[in-house]
């Protein structure tokens, strides 16, 4: 990867919860168009890492830069910064009191002050791309889990973020719905979106990643720019042991 097109840079990130170190000196640079997949055992700090990037958590050390500008929870520009960082969570987080179309256009209209017609036009196009344009007037509770997650992705995309953070977005889904959501993410990756993805779907990780980060105990234990090789024969023992737990899948 050439330099100069870096989107996100994390320097020596340190995060504690009540004295427990959760993120231990993590540094990471994400370039435009890169898809980085973060894997690691439950509780190792993957969600916390993404939440820190989106400034949903305060941090105790290090810094996070988006396009060279610090992401600081306490700074005045924080909502401007968050606008450029799209996030989709594991649990369905659509707004239950808004229709699908309203869910997707609320922030473009209220935050970016875009014209309602323009925002809706784009929203319908994007919804169409994930196969849900005909559900635009439904409420979230009328949709399946897989459909809701596709809407959540569209909602984030409508803000034209510089980077998309996906936190185990298929973990709460019935198995038959996982595929339809991952397909959407794969097509985003192909069209050049910059993404930081946390997932437990190893086959998907191998297919989508430019780079794999293996996290354990709040540290990057292994980093690989060759996902095929990483999954075939990881270099560290801990990554190996972790991957073994998926052997029965």
Residue in 13, 37, 44, 209 binding ligand ADP, rule: CB under 6 A: 44
Instruction: Work out whether 43 is an interface residue with ligand ADP (CB under 6 A).
Output: yes
Contacting Mg ion within 31-70 (CB under 5 A): 47
Residue in 1, 21, 56, 220 binding other proteins, rule: CB under 8 A: 56
Backbone phi, psi, residue 187, to 5° = -70, -30
Beta bridge partners of 164: 86, 195
Q: How far apart are CA 82 and CA 157, in angstroms?
A: 13
Q: How far apart are CA 37 and CA 24, in angstroms?
A: 18
Q: Choose the stretch contacting ligand ADP; rule: CB under 6 A; options: 37-45, 76-84, 176-184, 240-248.
A: 37-45
Instruction: Work out whether 46 is an interface residue with ligand ADP (CB under 6 A).
Output: yes
Among residues 48 and 214, whose Cβ is nearest to other proteins? 48
Q: How far apart are CA 174 and CA 176, in angstroms?
A: 6
Find all residues with CB under 8 Å of 135, minimum gap 6, and list them.
100, 127, 142, 143, 147
Q: How many alpha carbons fall within 13 Å on the CB side of residue 247?
A: 6
Q: How far apart are CA 3 and CA 59, in angstroms?
A: 27
Q: How far apart are CA 242 and CA 18, in angstroms?
A: 27
Per residue, the 3-state secondary structure of 55-77, as one string, reads CCCCCCEEEEEECCEECCCCCCC
Residue in 3, 20, 141, 247 binding other proteins, rule: CB under 8 A: 141
> Among other proteins, Mg ion, ligand ADP, none, what binds residue 26 when CB lies within 5 to 8 Å by partner kind?
none
Among residues 128 and 246, whose Cβ is nearest to ligand ADP? 246
Q: Choose the stretch contacting ligand ADP; rule: CB under 6 A; options: 15-23, 80-88, 139-147, 205-213.
A: 15-23
User: Nearest approach, Cβ of 14 to other proteins (angstroms)?
Assistant: 22
Q: Choose the stretch contacting ligand ADP; rule: CB under 6 A; options: 45-53, 67-75, 139-147, 200-208.
A: 45-53
> Among other proteins, Mg ion, ligand ADP, none, what binds residue 17 when CB lies within 5 to 8 Å by partner kind?
ligand ADP
Residues in contact with Mg ion by CB under 5 A are 47
Residues in contact with ligand ADP by CB under 6 A are 17-18, 22, 42-48
């Amino acid at each position: 990867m050439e330099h100069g097109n870096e989107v996100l840079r994390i320097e020596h990130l340190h995060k504690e919860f009540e004295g427990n170190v959760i993120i231990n000196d993590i540094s990471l640079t994400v370039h435009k168009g890169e898809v980085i997949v973060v894997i690691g055992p439950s509780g190792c700090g993957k969600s916390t890492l993404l939440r820190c990037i989106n400034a949903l958590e305060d941090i105790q050390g290090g810094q996070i830069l988006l396009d060279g500008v610090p992401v600081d929870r306490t700074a005045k520009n924080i909502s401007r910064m968050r606008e450029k960082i799209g996030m989709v969570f594991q649990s369905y987080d659509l707004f239950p009191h808004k229709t699908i179309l309203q869910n997707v256009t609320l922030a473009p209209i209220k935050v970016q002050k875009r014209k309602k017609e323009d925002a809706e036009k784009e929203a319908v196009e994007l919804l169409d791309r994930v196969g849900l344009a005909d559900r635009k007037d439904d409420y979230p509770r009328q949709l399946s889990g897989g459909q809701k997650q596709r809407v959540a992705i569209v909602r984030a995309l409508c803000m034209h973020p510089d980077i998309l953070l996906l936190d185990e977005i298929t973990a709460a889904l019935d198995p038959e719905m996982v595929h339809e959501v991952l397909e959407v993410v794969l097509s985003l990756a192909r069209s050049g979106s910059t993404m930081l993805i946390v997932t437990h779907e190893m086959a998907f990780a191998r297919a989508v990643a430019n780079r794999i980060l293996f996290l354990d105990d709040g540290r990057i234990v292994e980093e690989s720019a060759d996902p095929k090789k990483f999954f075939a024969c990881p270099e560290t023992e801990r990554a190996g042991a972790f991957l073994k737990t998926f052997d029965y899948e």
